Amino acid sequence: MKIAFIGLGNMGGGMAVNLVKAGHEVHAFDLAAEALDKAKGNGCAVYTAVRDAVQGVDAVVSMLPNGGIVKSVYSADVIGQAPKGALFLDCSTIDVATAREVGEAAKAAGYEMVDAPVSGGIAAANGGTLTFMVGGSEATFAKAQVVLEPMAKAVIHAGELGAGQVAKMCNNMLLAIHMIGTCEALALAEKAGLSMQKFYEISSKSTGYNWSLNDYTPAPGVGAASPADNGYQGGFASALMLKDLRLAMAGAQAAGATVPMGEHATAIYEAFNEAGNGGKDFGAIFTTL
């Protein structure tokens, strides 16, 4: 397939390369010259304008920073520029309302579209082991799978358009809550006289088991290797976690849902980011304890 890939940041760059490895012809666009140079070196054809990148393609994949940019790019440079019948896959993490609005606009113009946000982080993007949560019709999902599978360990149909974003906001709210609780438990164990390593050995095999503890341990030198062992560099930035939490809070308000733990996690990450820690991995919340 010919696939335009829009947005070659920390996640998108690795994702585009995995499409090349799968044998697809990838037309890559990014505002950063360095990202384009890297994509070119990895086998992508590079473009300096979105509307040029989408000419003649079978599908368009986007990985962009926020809903406003997604809406702007699709309305100005993708819808009406890509061939009629092309499949659009937005893998950005954005608000549900914008995902549905852009998808409906694409449909009205003769295109098929899914929202397909991801879970897994930079390492998974590079390794082709992301989990995709996909919103769209059954028929469109079936077509999207072909594009997504080279980048994925799992591609899951969440429901109709926008359902992928619902899944992502709920998943990352839960992740933030788990991470804070994991950090608190590790710190409490140490201060109460039990080494963090010994607590990890016990809790990781007990009912305290969770991904933040078992697979991404936020205390340096304890348990699984993670950005904690590298000064909390790399991984999933706290600023991005805060972005996702704010999307979840907006989603909760729109749905009339009560999320007290989510609200508290948001407040904790807001304070952490305001203290200048937005570039650190979200597990660095451990350092506040």
**Catalytic residue numbers, as ranges:** 168
Q: Cα(87)–Cα(189) distance, rounded to whole angstroms?
A: 51
Type and span of the H or E element at 95: none
* DSSP H/E element including 28: strand 25-29
β pairing state of 130-135 and 118-119: antiparallel
Residue carrying the six token digits 């505002």? 31
Alpha-helical regions (H) of the chain: 12-21, 33-41, 50-53, 67-73, 96-108, 121-127, 138-148, 163-191, 196-203, 211-214, 238-255, 260-272
Could you tell me the sign of the dihedral formed by the alpha carbons of 14, 279, 170, 285, in that order? Answer: positive
Which residues lie across from 119 on neighbouring strands?
131
Residues contacting residue 79 through CB under 8 Å, at least 6 positions apart = 105, 106, 109, 111
Strands (E), 126-195: 130-135, 152-159
